[in-house]
């Protein structure tokens, strides 16, 4: 029996990374995620790993690329402005089919923004973020326990599909403390990293890891292969949570901290006799399209809630049946703009069919 | 039984440590807890606040629009947040620094505790947050004082454990202030 521990969301990420066998962490401090490098700077060397505070975010992501190319489990973490800087490296990793975990504890933007919670980096995370037309796996925890569990999952999915994986949370989830069970790493059969860089001297063929593909048809082939892999990912790895959707006339949908706040609003609505449910995507890439399509045949209306002026709503609209209505309530991120359950309940009342 | 409390003050008053203490005390009593802090970019002097939710089951939303108890450590927080307290709830104010008008909070019980004064009398103004925790325990009945004292062991780093007896006294003084006011 593993005892419960009362920890910050950021600490849960760091604890899970060590349990998942991360060998290298490279990062650069930025609020509201600096607890992750702080924890790992202390604990990772004690657990046989390497911690480096890089000279910049760009340096850090390219160190992740290098360590991953050598076959090691590697990660970085940052927030908005730092994640923007890392996009070049993430694109190179995607082009090189390299696994690696990137944690984004979202803060306000654009620009320097501020340190309060935001979900306005949804587009950046789910559309790849950098140049060249690729996707990364994006996992959206909704509690401190999930910060732990999904960080572990991110490493396994990334290794399994050779696609970089992002844990996308915000400063609410990063800074809040809850009791978690630090579970053991789940068993996951992973293929050997026989693609890792290797020289001639070792007696077997040389392995080169690169994103430069100049051969005739080489890049086109790569893109079709990745396209098929993204489809496989969608078929096998889509994850979501439903709460009281069975008889719901209205389904609230939200991810991360906003889903957590919305769930209390849904409970209030149920107590008031309204048939309201909640659908929370756990994987944002792959987006769990099928469950949206299935539920849209049963309910009258979706209400999408975001801490932005609306980004995930595009994916919701693309996933539901053509004539399903999707209402929206959002607050642009900023100090004092975090919606309350009371506020969301009021919105439910306004649109309830 | 579900309890929620919102604590606000300025950076340096120990708002976050107070929230941590309440959390550890609730965990000591076998309850589930969500602790959600928010603070300005300044190290000291900026706004600091936190919400603690204590529940036997699921803690639900970490954000609460209308808390059942609020602890307001400075005037700015009182002016900004006191009106959010749920009708039937309690607003505990640090009356050393806050001028509070009962008429402004219809349906809410105002509990005045001169926290700075009590802390200074006990030897250190920095114990304002401990006085606040003791007052909260007495007002809400959500936590037993011994659990809060137990929580100090977990919430404070070992190098500060020598201060625990003084902090316990500050908590007891906060609780006593509430009890004597209620007795009047």
Determine if the peptide bond prior to A110 is cis (ω within 30°). yes
What tokens appear for A261 in the block?
């706040």
The reported pLDDT for the residue numbered A1 is 40
Query: Is B48 within 8 Å of chain A by CB?
Result: no
Per-residue pLDDT tens over the stretch B13-56:
999 999 999 999 999 999 999 999 988 877 777 899 999 999 99
CB pair distance less than 8 Å for A178 and B65: no
Whether the CB of A334 is below 8 Å from some CB of chain B: the reply is: no
Q: Nearest chain B Cα to A338, which residue? A: B63
Please indicate whether residue A250 or residue B40 has the higher confidence score (pLDDT): A250
ipTM of this predicted structure: 0.93
DSSP B67-131: -SEEEE-SHHHHHHHGGGSPTT-EEEEETTT----GGGSTT-EEEEE-HHHHHHHTT-GGGHHHH
Strands B47-55 and B3-10: antiparallel
CB pairs under 8 A between A and B: 61
- Beta strand B69-72 with B90-94 is parallel
Q: Are A162 and A228 in contact (CB under 8 A)?
A: no
**Domain extents for chain B?**
3-183
CB contacts, 8 Å: A116 with chain B:
38
| C-alpha dist (Å) from residue A250 to A13, A282, A310, B97 | 34, 20, 19, 47
Look at A176 and B41 and tell me if their CB atoms are within 8 Å. Answer: no
Name the residue among A353, A348, A349, A287 with its Cα closest to residue A314.
A287
Q: For chain A, list the domains and their CATH numbers.
A: 5-180 (3.40.50.970), 241-351 (3.40.50.920)
Question: In this complex, is the C-beta atom of A31 within 8 Å of any C-beta atom belonging to chain B?
Answer: yes
**Whether the predicted pLDDT of A293 surpasses 90:** yes
pLDDT of residue A202: 67
Which tens digits make up the pLDDT trace of A58-95?
Answer: 999 999 999 999 999 999 999 999 999 999 999 999 99
pLDDT at A229: 98
**Distance (Å, rounded) from C-alpha B19 to C-alpha B13?**
12
- Residues A262, A278 contacting (CB under 8 angstroms): yes
User: B60 and A178 in contact by Cβ < 8 A?
Assistant: no
Indicate the average pLDDT of chain A: 96
pTM of the predicted structure, to 2 decimals = 0.96
Average pLDDT over residues A105-113: 95
Give pLDDT, residue B68: 97
In which residue are the tokens 């389904």 written? A251
Torsion, Cα A110 A114 A115 A120, to 10 degrees, reads -30
Q: What is the CATH number of domain B3-183?
A: 3.40.920.10
Is the Cβ–Cβ distance between A41 and A123 less than 8 Å? no
pLDDT band at residue A197 using 50, 70 and 90 as cut-offs: very high
pLDDT in tens, A1-54: 457 899 999 999 999 999 999 999 999 999 999 999 999 999 999 999 999 999
- Asked if residue B101 has pLDDT above 90, the reply is no
The A residues from 235 to 294 touching B (CB cutoff 8 Å) are: 257, 260-261, 263-265, 267
Phi-psi region of B84 (alpha: psi -120 to 50; beta: other; left: phi over 0): alpha
């Amino acid at each position: 029996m593993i005892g419960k521990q009362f920890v910050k969301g950021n600490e849960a990420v760091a604890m899970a990374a060590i349990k998942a066998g991360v060998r290298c962490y490279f990062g650069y401090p930025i609020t509201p995620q600096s607890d992750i490098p702080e924890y790992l700077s202390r604990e990772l060397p004690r657990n046989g790993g390497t911690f480096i505070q890089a000279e910049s975010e760009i340096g850090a992501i390219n160190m992740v690329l290098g360590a991953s190319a050598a076959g090691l489990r590697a990660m970085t973490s940052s927030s908005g402005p730092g994640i923007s800087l890392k996009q070049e490296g993430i694109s190179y990793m995607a082009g090189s089919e390299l696994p690696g975990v990137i944690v984004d504890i979202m803060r306000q933007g654009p620009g320097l923004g501020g340190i309060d919670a935001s979900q306005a980096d949804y587009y950046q995370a789910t559309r790849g973020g950098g140049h060249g037309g690729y996707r990364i796996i994006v996992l959206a925890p909704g509690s401190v326990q999930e910060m732990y569990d999904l960080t572990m999952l991110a490493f396994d999915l990334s290794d399994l599909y050779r696609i970089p994986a992002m844990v996308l949370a915000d400063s609410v989830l990063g800074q809040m403390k809850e009791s978690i069970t630090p579970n053991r790493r789940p068993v996951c059969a992973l293929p050997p990293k026989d693609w890792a860089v290797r020289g001639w001297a070792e007696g077997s063929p040389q392995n080169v890891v690169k994103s430069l593909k100049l051969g005739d048809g080489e890049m086109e082939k790569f893109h079709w292969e990745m396209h098929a892999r993204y489809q496989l990912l969608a078929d096998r790895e889509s994850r979501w949570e439903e709460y009281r959707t069975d008889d719901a006339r209205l389904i609230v949908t939200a991810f991360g901290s906003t889903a957590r706040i919305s769930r209390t609003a849904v409970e209030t609505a149920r107590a008031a006799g309204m048939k309201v449910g909640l659908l929370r995507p756990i994987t944002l890439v792959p987006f769990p399209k099928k469950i949206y399509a299935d539920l849209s045949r049963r309910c009258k209306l979706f209400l999408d809630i975001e801490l932005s002026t609306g980004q995930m709503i595009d994916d919701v609209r693309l996933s539901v049946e053509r004539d399903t209505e999707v209402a929206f309530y959002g607050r642009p991120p900023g100090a004092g703009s975090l919606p309350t359950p009371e506020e969301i309940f009021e919105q439910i009342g306004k649109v309830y069919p | 039984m579900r309890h929620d409390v919102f604590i606000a003050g300025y950076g340096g008053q120990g708002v976050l440590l107070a929230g941590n203490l309440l959390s550890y005390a609730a965990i000591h009593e076998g309850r589930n807890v969500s602790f959600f802090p928010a603070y300005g970019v300044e190290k000291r002097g900026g706004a600091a606040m936190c919400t603690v939710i204590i529940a036997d089951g699921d803690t639900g939303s970490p954000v609460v629009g209308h808390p059942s108890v609020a602890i307001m450590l400075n005037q700015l927080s009182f002016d900004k947040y006191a009106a959010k307290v749920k009708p039937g709830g309690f607003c505990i104010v640090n009356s050393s620094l806050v001028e509070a008008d009962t008429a402004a909070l219809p349906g809410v019980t105002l509990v005045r505790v001169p926290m700075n004064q009590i802390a200074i009398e006990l030897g250190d103004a920095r114990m304002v947050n401990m006085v606040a925790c003791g007052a909260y325990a007495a007002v809400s009945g959500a936590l037993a004082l011994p659990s809060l004292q137990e929580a100090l062991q977990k919430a404070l780093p070992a190098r500060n454990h020598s201060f625990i007896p003084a902090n316990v006294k500050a908590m007891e003084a906060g609780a006593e202030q509430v009890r004597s006011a209620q007795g009047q």
